[in-house]
Amino acid sequence: MILYYPFLFALLILSGCIGALNNTQNFSDENTPLVPNIIHGVPVKKSDYPFIAQIFYLYKNEYIFWCTGSLISPNYILTAGHCITDPTRAYLKIDGVRVVVGKTDLADAKNADKFDTIKSMGTFNYKKIRQNDLALLRLSRNIPANEATPVKFYIKKITKNLKVQVAGFGETVFGSATPSRTLLQTTVDISSSKNCTKFNPEWSTNDGPQICQESYNGNDSCQGDSGGPLTTKINGINYLVGATNNGRNKNIDAKVQCGDNTIAYYARMGFFVSRISKVIKVNAKYLLAYNIHRIDDARTIITENTLKLVIIAPREKRKGQTIERSCEINRHPNHILCPVLAYTVYKARIATELCPTPHANNDSIIVNRLFRHTKHYNKPLSVDSITRQVKNLSGLIKRPPNTPIPKTRAIGATLAATSGVPVENIVLHAFWSNYSMFDTYYRLVRSTLSLI
């Protein structure tokens, strides 16, 4: 297996810049790498990768781009283990690491003094277990939601039919030692062929710590992409499947190690999610893609003052029975803001025409989308379209000059808090991990009199 180490790694070793460091940890509770670049990649929008991270390292008093990563909580970056270690798997110097989060254009290394610093970092026993090629970097500050938002994990079974993309800032031509100036992504193919074991004897199945991928069309990751996200899209949102590890050309005599006829491996999030949650002190369920519920509309009741819904979570069961939750929504005196009236109009004017779509959690269940194009009721709206409309409406709210448009979740949560709703109820209802998440990122005002 050929390991693609970050740019100028050999020079770092020769110059003695790599050594032990303080504030490093081994996260494993149990007894190689690609510095990939994206081959045949296309530019992406920030809305597709609001969690993307760029990792830089100091070499001869100059910062250089090193690896790609992903924000998984307000103050933790996930990347590859080999991105923070040398070829002997000893840690790099922590004070030489800098991070940029939420930017799809490569940052100018000359501004590294303004980049985020690292408080601590560590791997999951990568020193002893090469397959555990995963690392966490704890940032010195919490990243505000208007700069970047954490990615959620995809932990379902990995099959060759799963549609995945890999993204990064790495080389677009093998051996160029020049990172891409913008974030690129490309579609790659999951594999479980005999080649996966042939080129990595430690790999057995895609249920283990690493996922195998073969390039059949030249699409690939390469130098600089190490640690970058392998994602799958659900309802227009990217979820983290894995992190780029290592790869090589299947022809041992080939000089080009990225692109055609290559094989690569990625750390699988489903294997590490429990250990990650312990390190960052966040319940594992808050790292996962939420179970998307559906409404059993045959049991919906609309009265003069209320809308009563029965919500079903198809993957959740209790004592073998599907869980159901009732939801009662009261009428608002303002017709423009009244959810009961809006749902009534939706049922009368739009829901009469079917909009069948497979359920995100179970494709054997067909659901009718609530949000659709105004002129084509049989065509569901994308997440991006809904987000744009919500942002337009939020932009109508009065706010001080030069302040960002408040997030919709922040508006509702703040109004609830100022109305006397217990904060623990707000946190639970919004699926936030703790009080500080709400108080730091979503509470717009703290006075008892709302300014909204």
pLDDT at 242: 96
C-alpha span between 394 and 284 (Å, rounded): 31
Question: What mean pLDDT comes out for the span 352-379?
Answer: 71
Same domain, yes or no: 94 and 31? yes
Model confidence at 316, pLDDT cuts 50, 70, 90, reads low
Cβ pair 68, 135 in contact under 8 A = no
Cβ pair 410, 444 in contact under 8 A = yes
Same domain, yes or no: 140 and 161? yes
Handedness of CA 105, 106, 111, 117 (dihedral sign): positive
pLDDT at 53: 96
3-class DSSP state of 51? coil
Residue 272, pLDDT above cutoff 90: yes
Q: How many CA atoms lie within 13 A of 239 on its CB side?
A: 23
Residue 19, pLDDT above cutoff 90: no
The number of residues in the chain equals 452
Model confidence at 260, pLDDT cuts 50, 70, 90, reads low
Q: Of 287, 302, 330, which closes a domain? A: 287
Has residue 360 been placed in a domain? yes
Same domain, yes or no: 52 and 148? yes
CATH of the domain at 256: 2.40.10.120
Task: Tell me which DSSP letter residue 251 carries.
Answer: S
**Helices and strands in the chain, H and E counts:** 8, 20
Question: What mean pLDDT comes out for the span 284-301?
Answer: 73
Has residue 2 been placed in a domain? no
Q: CA–CA distance from 427 to each of 250, 412, 435 (Å)?
A: 50, 12, 6
103-117, 140-154, 286-300: least confidently modelled range = 286-300
Same domain, yes or no: 62 and 105? yes
Has residue 306 been placed in a domain? yes
Model confidence at 44, pLDDT cuts 50, 70, 90, reads confident
Question: What mean pLDDT comes out for the span 202-215?
Answer: 92
3-class DSSP state of 290? coil
Count how many domains the chain has: 3
Same domain, yes or no: 95 and 203? yes
Residue 36, pLDDT above cutoff 50: no
pLDDT at 268: 96
Has residue 3 been placed in a domain? no
pLDDT at 26: 66
Has residue 142 been placed in a domain? yes
3-class DSSP state of 390? helix
Q: Of 235, 265, 287, which closes a domain? A: 287
Contacts of 333 (CB under 8 A, 6+ apart): none
C-alpha span between 62 and 46 (Å, rounded): 27
pLDDT at 14: 29
C-alpha span between 101 and 98 (Å, rounded): 10
Candidate ranges 130-139, 176-185, 350-359, 425-434; pick with highest mean pLDDT = 130-139
Token digits for 404?
A: 């960002």
Same domain, yes or no: 437 and 342? no
Question: What mean pLDDT comes out for the span 430-444?
Answer: 71
pLDDT at 131: 92
Same domain, yes or no: 261 and 328? no
Same domain, yes or no: 409 and 345? no
Same domain, yes or no: 272 and 302? no
pLDDT at 378: 76
Residue 315, pLDDT above cutoff 80: no
Model confidence at 295, pLDDT cuts 50, 70, 90, reads confident
Q: Which one is predicted more confidently, 323 or 11?
A: 323
pLDDT of 379-391, one tens digit each?
777 767 777 777 7
pLDDT of 162-183, one tens digit each?
999 999 886 555 445 577 888 9
Model confidence at 72, pLDDT cuts 50, 70, 90, reads very high
Residue 345, pLDDT above cutoff 60: yes
Average pLDDT, the chain: 78
Q: Note down the domain range covering 16.
A: 9-287
Same domain, yes or no: 435 and 450? yes
pLDDT at 408: 73
Q: Which one is predicted more confidently, 419 or 10?
A: 419
Q: Of 287, 317, 341, which closes a domain? A: 287
Residue 353, pLDDT above cutoff 60: yes
Question: What mean pLDDT comes out for the span 65-79?
Answer: 94
Has residue 4 been placed in a domain? no
Task: Tell me which DSSP letter residue 112 carries.
Answer: G
Q: What is the pTM of this model?
A: 0.63
C-alpha span between 375 and 171 (Å, rounded): 44
pLDDT of 107-142, one tens digit each?
999 999 999 999 999 999 999 999 999 999 999 999
Same domain, yes or no: 234 and 269? yes
141-150, 196-205, 268-277, 404-413: least confidently modelled range = 404-413
Has residue 314 been placed in a domain? yes
C-alpha span between 294 and 305 (Å, rounded): 23
pLDDT at 118: 96
pLDDT at 246: 85
C-alpha span between 25 and 125 (Å, rounded): 9
Same domain, yes or no: 361 and 238? no
Has residue 229 been placed in a domain? yes
